[in-house]
Structure 1
Amino acid sequence: MNEITKIIPSTTAKDWASDQEVRWCPGCGDYAVLKAVQRTMPDLGVARENTVFVSGIGCSSRFPYYMASYGFHTIHGRAPAVATGVKLANPELDVWIITGDGDALSIGGNHTMHLLRRNLDCQFLLFNNEIYGLTKGQYSPTSRIGTRSPSTPFGSVDRPANPCSFALGAGARFIARAIDVHKALPDVLKAAHAHKGASFVEIFQNCVVYNDDVFASFTAKEFASERQLWLKAGEKMIFSGGTKGLSFDRDRMALTIVDATDPAVLVHDLKNRTLAQLLIEMPATAGFPVALGVIYEDPAPTFESAVIEQNRAVSEGKKVDLQALVAKGQSWQVEKEPRAE
């Protein structure tokens, strides 16, 4: 008998847009990310009824309402925990986690770390605007030193967290970066979805109200060519309109900028974890660009596959007997006492 293959109907971006009114501040970068995701979903060949978006708390966490799929708007920082439950209950589901820098790296830092180290098969999209937008502009874990906000009126003195560095340290096997309004965002989303395991994607997202243009030094059109390095596996790391490249200075054990024609220009190796760390933490000064695209990918067995295999091995050859399970250990039966005459 031939195996029956389920045919997934083709969809369009409109099919993935819900009937809910999208409510973000005018000009918010979240709009661009939402549209990018809705345009990308048809290209993935997935079914809406098998797709789940899980979010925590924050501006970005309204995302599930705007997708015509299943979704959970959970509690602050706990989206990874809920997503883990969803994936273990039905491993066939396509799970996306939508979160922000405060939601994922402050109250949710512990949950984010464990989801990445376990390598749950999901797409983890972290919207980083370096501020708490929903609660009116307090500084967040990724806010830069000197950030003035209602909670840091004299300027933040905290050293900011680096989301991708955090992910790499937690054991993530796929790490990427993108920009909310950049045309390459759908390609990054497709690469994340193709990866089997936890795909961590940091999206630089502009908050027009509380932290406008915080990323303008590399996202603005006049700086994009000079400051953006879009990585491609197996290709040389060249930027600045094809005139500059990255090399490795063995004396200083650090990346250095060289002419694009220099034979020492590095070729991007997705599985090189050390190189990934150097790219993630390139200095924001001295003419260095910002590494974008897929920075690191080295697949490993997923968490849910290990759980499923363990359950199969433990239950193999055993007979299902609910009554025996209930009566196991210390149990007793209460007999009905005879009625007195």
Structure 2
Amino acid sequence: MNDMTPVTTTLKDWETDQEVRWCPGCGDYAILKAVQRTMPQLGADPANTVFVSGIGCSSRFPYYMETYGFHTIHGRAPTVATGVKLANPELDVWLVTGDGDGLSIGGNHMLHLLRRNLDCQVLLFNNEIYGLTKGQYSPTSRPGTRSPSTPFGSVDRPVNPCAFALGSGARFVARGIDVNKKLTDAFKAAYAHEGTAFVEIFQNCIVYNEDVFSDFTDKKTAPDTQLWVEHGEPLLFANGTKGIAMDPALFGARVVDVADGDWEAAGVLRHDQTNRALANMLVEMPFGDYPMALGVIYDDPRPTFDGAVMEQNAAASEGKSDDLQALIEHGQTWKVGK
């Protein structure tokens, strides 16, 4: 986020003349439109905005945003984004990556981006599969996933993207669903956060991993399977009839019934987005026994990497001359002549 004067734009100002090319029905279309709808609400300036991507279906994104953009190499978007932000700290920098791009070959780069706390927004599209390269299993694929690279079913334990982000030192972690209207709220909160904001987006790959998230995205069961968290509000789901409480014996979460709306009597916790321990508990809750925690799970800013670099550079140059010729002639110099 930067402190520049808000600019008035419309959705059309963020759309390019490029044909959007994803598979019909792909969740990426919904995410793209959500971002384009959000940018005018942020007061962001297309001329001051940069989208950086790696490799994968999600990484086509910069072509479809009427901004500056870099379609980089596999897993290295965080590195390029760091260079962009340090070269011009006034730019709004967004990273777009996928579970394979960002958590496999790019896992090391993602880790260091998060721990450094560069001021940028990371949108990680998680479809639990490699879509662009025809459906191989990815770091987030569930055990038993059958794919061209795991014909008998994956035996890997998958990465939990939000747990990875918290473990890497991220100060902002959120989750959303590609077609859910609340996704834009996560984008707004991410933009307002000073530092690296990590947003995991559950994205449906209609060709190679269709409806893999239907166990919690299906509208009929969503009230019972989705826990939308909000700072200061009780952790309730199932239309307020169930909630998340602390289990002292397990030092973790437990689901409790809420009678007559009295969530306090049931011991339901209030969401505190600055509480790192609570954030860890929410992202680690195993789905099935617990609902899927969604929304802004953690938001606790600290000084940014780019801010510290700028301060250091300013201190190092204080009192120094910016006259190149004077610097060349400083000290023991001599002229060679006839």
TM-score using structure 2 length: 0.94
Which residue of 282, 294, 297 maps to 2:296?
294
CA contact (8 A) 2:195 2:304 kept: yes
When residues 164 and 42 of structure 1 are mapped into structure 2, their CA distance, relative to the original with a 3 A threshold, is same
Mapping of residues 1-341 of structure 1, within 5 Å: 8-260=6-258, 261-263=262-264, 264-286=267-289, 288-323=290-325
Give, as a single letter, the amino acid of the residue that structure 2 aligns with 1:11: T
Gaps of 5+ in 1: none
Query: Is the partner of 1:71 in helix, strand or coil?
Result: strand
Give, as a single letter, the amino acid of the residue that structure 2 aligns with 1:84: T
Among all aligned residue pairs of Structure 1 and Structure 2, give the percentage whose two residues are the same amino acid: 69
Number of aligned residue pairs: give it.
331
When residues 144 and 325 of structure 1 are mapped into structure 2, their CA distance, relative to the original with a 3 A threshold, is farther
1:55-89 CA-partner distances (Å, limit 9, x unpaired): 00000000000001111101100100111111001
When residues 6 and 79 of structure 1 are mapped into structure 2, their CA distance, relative to the original with a 3 A threshold, is closer
Give, as a single letter, the amino acid of the residue that structure 1 aligns with 2:278: L
1:136-175 CA-partner distances (Å, limit 9, x unpaired): 0000000011111111111111100000000000000000
1:298-325 CA-partner distances (Å, limit 9, x unpaired): 1000011100000011110111243465
**Cα distance in 1 for residues equivalent to 2:5 and 2:141:** 46
Query: Is the partner of 2:37 in helix, strand or coil?
Result: helix
When residues 253 and 324 of structure 1 are mapped into structure 2, their CA distance, relative to the original with a 3 A threshold, is same
**Cα distance in 2 for residues equivalent to 1:147 and 1:240:** 29
When residues 326 and 25 of structure 1 are mapped into structure 2, their CA distance, relative to the original with a 3 A threshold, is farther
> Post-superposition shift, 1:253?
1.3
**Cα distance in 2 for residues equivalent to 1:7 and 1:96:** 19
**Cα distance in 2 for residues equivalent to 1:331 and 1:176:** 58
Give, as a single letter, the amino acid of the residue that structure 1 aligns with 2:294: L
When residues 308 and 293 of structure 1 are mapped into structure 2, their CA distance, relative to the original with a 3 A threshold, is same
Query: Is the partner of 2:221 in helix, strand or coil?
Result: helix
**Cα distance in 2 for residues equivalent to 1:70 and 1:82:** 13
Give, as a single letter, the amino acid of the residue that structure 2 aligns with 1:74: T
TM-score using structure 1 length: 0.93
> Post-superposition shift, 1:241?
1.2
CA contact (8 A) 2:123 2:201 kept: yes
CA contact (8 A) 2:234 2:263 kept: no
1:232-271 CA-partner distances (Å, limit 9, x unpaired): 0000000011110000010121211112334210000111
Give the number of the structure whose alpha-carbon radius of gyration is greater.
1
Gaps of 5+ in 2: none
